[in-house]
A and B are shown apart, each in its own frame.
Chain A
Amino acid sequence: MKNKTKILTEDLSLYYGDKQALIDISMQIPEKQVTAFIGPSGCGKSTYLRVINRMNDLIGNVTISGKVLVDGIDIYAKDLDVVNLRKQIGMVFQKSNLFPKTIYENITYAPNINGIKDKKVLNEIVEKTLKQAAIWDEVKDRLHESALSLSGGQQQRLCIARALAVQPEIVLMDEPASALDPLSTAKIEELIHELKQNYTIVIVTHNMQQAARVSDKTAFFYLGELIEFDTTSKIFTNPSIKQTEDYITGRFG
């Protein structure tokens, strides 16, 4: 049975000033699966990711054409509540960007600005998300210590927990493990596997083997274009397009 489409783009193009960074991208991302974007550096994977939660709006001089629908709704509609949109979509960045506050305060930041002040409810959220991020046991005794005192891998998992605290339906990850050691990376990949039962996950990764391990569908980007988009097993064993095959087999990078 095919999963519902969660995110859809049709002929999406994006310009930084005069420079076109995304060229006519049409893609349907299924719900509650892991979709990976692969491709060489600077080919638009992260840019496309940030279209989904309109983070590109924060950079000046960006124009967009084409359709972007989430759950069937046009998220670039004129009077759309962008702030609210971002509450429904979680984002994990390449480098951990925890606030210089305690672990507890980092997690409760988002619920707090949503008006949740009840201590009991907040405590529950903290425990739930830290367990989801598979880091609860490691930090449960130091919730009120600085979040920056954790190791790199722990910080990144904390970022994931923080993003989950508002219970988004979609989680976007921009090369979440690229700065981490193999052990931490493995933990995060395990995490992704768990999370997809409840969340739609889109992950940008540099690391092809990671995409192969972790995702259900894979999209190959090259120079701002979507070259091929199919199930992961097909992309990695029998790609339809030669360019994809060349990239997978390492003929260019």
Chain B
Amino acid sequence: MSKDLESLEESELKDSPFGRKISLSVRVKEKIIEYFFAVNGVVALVFVILIFIFLFKEGIQALNNIGLLDFIYFDQVQLDDSLKRLYEWYPTSSEERYSLLPLIVGTLMTAIPATIISTLFGVAAGVYLSEIANPKAREFLKPLIELFASVPTVVLGFLMLAVGASFFNDLLSPLNRLNAFIASLGLSFVIIPIIASMTEDALRSIPNDLRMASYGLGATKWQTISKVIIPAGFSGVSASVILGFGRAIGETMIVLMASGNAANITMDIFLSVRTMTATIAAEMGEVSQGSDHYYALFFIGIILFTITFFLNLLAEIIVNKMRKKNVF
């Protein structure tokens, strides 16, 4: 045995073409490039944090200036010196009132019906596209749904205002022409594509083996859909509904244009309401920077951001749990 590999001298390595080391300049250049990319990489994270910080920075002043309880109720002194507890959002009154209750009710009165309607139509559409439509139809219809998802929300708001309100006014004679119902309908147009698209993706990703197994056991198409496919894709469908709900809560233009913008606390879907988002949108342009009202609006922003943040997180956890359970 002439030479053990291990006993090759360092000097011998240096001469062999295989032993050549990377030149310093190249190494430095590559490192700089890597850091450049890394900086860009964390940008998204940085902005999420920045949003939180800057919302917080302005909004937290509201707690100082206004106080947490005042965001819930305001005790108004009556003529007979008794106290009446008001739950009103009325920052421009001489007795400023900052109760968030009407705004939260308004948001829920539009977001919840919208999510219910959208889940019905969206899941149906998703099931249809994934399981029932033939492949040629699907190729045409799925982009169609995507196209409708791209409609600007201001257009949907405009439509509800110009067409929807009058149509339903004639049909149902509601108390307020612009109300939570009209706004919910408008919201549905945004959310249905979200739910439909995600549901279709979730169901399509279920391997065909399972369908074959079900048919092989003598199940009908509907039995296969309802007992095998939908249960298997349930996490994906739920995540889409959660995201849809989050979107409904955070939507601004449609509710701004179609909900009537009256801060009522009501369970009547045919009355005008005011959502949190519409409040910020409508009033921010009017406030002077540094006023209580200004800080209050930022405070609402914090609440919105927090709610949607957690809904998004929840949806992501569900999707990840599904991926882990997946033996596919």
Report if A101 contacts B (CB, 8 A). Answer: yes
Report if A241 contacts B (CB, 8 A). Answer: no
CB within 8 Å for A97 and B212 given contacts A109-B227, A113-B227, A148-B327: yes
Report if A116 contacts B (CB, 8 A). Answer: no
* Cα separation A53 to B219 with both chains bound (whole Å): 13
Output the nearest chain A residue to B219 by Cβ-Cβ distance.
A113
Instruction: Give the distance to chain B from A217, nearest Cβ to Cβ, in Å.
Output: 23
Report if B282 contacts A (CB, 8 A). Answer: no
A97 touches B227 (CB 8 A): no
B215 touches A110 (CB 8 A): no
- Interface positions, chain B 161-210, Cβ under 8 Å from A, are 207, 209-210
8 Å CB contact of A113 from B223, B325, B327: B223
Report if B228 contacts A (CB, 8 A). Answer: yes
A93 touches B216 (CB 8 A): yes
A99 touches B218 (CB 8 A): no
8 Å CB contact of B212 from A55, A114, A165, A166: A55
Report if A84 contacts B (CB, 8 A). Answer: yes
8 Å CB contact of B218 from A97, A100, A148, A166: A166
8 Å CB contact of A83 from B135, B220, B227, B327: B220
B216 touches A86 (CB 8 A): yes
Render A57-101 as a binary contact track against B, CB cut-off 8 A, 1 for contact.
Answer: 010100000000000000000000001111110110101011111
Chain A: how many interface residues by the 8 Å CB criterion?
30
B209 touches A93 (CB 8 A): yes
Q: Which residues of A contact B213 (CB under 8 A)?
A: 93, 97-99, 159, 162
CB within 8 Å for A53 and B228 given contacts A99-B210, A113-B223: no
Report if B60 contacts A (CB, 8 A). Answer: no
Report if B77 contacts A (CB, 8 A). Answer: no
B223 touches A100 (CB 8 A): no
* Cα separation A85 to B217 with both chains bound (whole Å): 10
B218 touches A93 (CB 8 A): no
Q: Which residues of B contact A34 (CB under 8 A)?
A: none
Report if A163 contacts B (CB, 8 A). Answer: yes
B217 touches A97 (CB 8 A): no
B218 touches A84 (CB 8 A): yes
Q: Which residues of B contact A98 (CB under 8 A)?
A: 213
A163 touches B216 (CB 8 A): yes
Considering residues B213, B214, B219, B231, which has the most beta carbons from chain A within 10 angstroms of its beta carbon? B213
Q: Which residues of B contact A165 (CB under 8 A)?
A: 217
Render A194-237 as a binary contact track against B, CB cut-off 8 A, 1 for contact.
Answer: 00000000000000000000000000000000000000000000
* Cα separation A187 to B151 with both chains bound (whole Å): 60
Chain B: how many interface residues by the 8 Å CB criterion?
21
* Cα separation A236 to B288 with both chains bound (whole Å): 95
Instruction: Give the distance to chain B from A15, nearest Cβ to Cβ, in Å.
Output: 19
Render B241-279 as a binary contact track against A, CB cut-off 8 A, 1 for contact.
Answer: 000000000000000000000000000000000000000
Output the nearest chain B residue to A88 by Cβ-Cβ distance.
B218
Report if B232 contacts A (CB, 8 A). Answer: yes
CB within 8 Å for A166 and B217 given contacts A95-B209, A99-B210, A109-B227: yes
* Cα separation A166 to B217 with both chains bound (whole Å): 8
Q: Which residues of A contact B227 (CB under 8 A)?
A: 109, 112-113
Q: Which residues of A contact B210 (CB under 8 A)?
A: 97, 99-100
Instruction: Give the distance to chain A from B24, nearest Cβ to Cβ, in Å.
Output: 53
A99 touches B232 (CB 8 A): yes
Q: Which residues of A contact B135 (CB under 8 A)?
A: 60
Output the nearest chain A residue to B226 by Cβ-Cβ distance.
A113
Instruction: Give the distance to chain A from B235, nearest Cβ to Cβ, in Å.
Output: 11
A86 touches B232 (CB 8 A): no
Q: Which residues of B contact A85 (CB under 8 A)?
A: 218
Q: Which residues of A contact B232 (CB under 8 A)?
A: 99-100
Instruction: Give the distance to chain A from B318, nearest Cβ to Cβ, in Å.
Output: 15
B231 touches A101 (CB 8 A): yes
* Cα separation A247 to B216 with both chains bound (whole Å): 31
* Cα separation A60 to B210 with both chains bound (whole Å): 18
Q: Which residues of B contact A159 (CB under 8 A)?
A: 213
* Cα separation A159 to B210 with both chains bound (whole Å): 12
Instruction: Give the distance to chain B from A197, nearest Cβ to Cβ, in Å.
Output: 23
CB within 8 Å for A91 and B219 given contacts A113-B227, A148-B327: no
* Cα separation A86 to B135 with both chains bound (whole Å): 25
- Interface positions, chain A 154-196, Cβ under 8 Å from B, are 159, 162-163, 165-166
B217 touches A58 (CB 8 A): no
Instruction: Give the distance to chain A from B126, nearest Cβ to Cβ, in Å.
Output: 19
A93 touches B212 (CB 8 A): yes
Render A10-35 as a binary contact track against B, CB cut-off 8 A, 1 for contact.
Answer: 00000000000000000000000000
* A-binding residues in B (CB < 8 A): 135, 207, 209-220, 223, 227-228, 231-232, 325, 327
A-B contacts, 18 of them at CB < 8 A, read A58-B211, A60-B135, A85-B218, A86-B216, A86-B217, A88-B218, A93-B209, A93-B216, A99-B228, A100-B231, A100-B325, A109-B217, A113-B218, A113-B219, A113-B220, A159-B213, A163-B216, A163-B217
Which 7 pairs between the two chains have the least Cβ-Cβ distance? A87-B218, A97-B209, A86-B218, A91-B216, A97-B213, A110-B217, A148-B327
Beyond A55-B215, A86-B216, A163-B217, 8 additional contacts (C-beta under 8 Å) are A58-B212, A58-B215, A83-B220, A99-B210, A109-B214, A110-B217, A110-B218, A112-B227
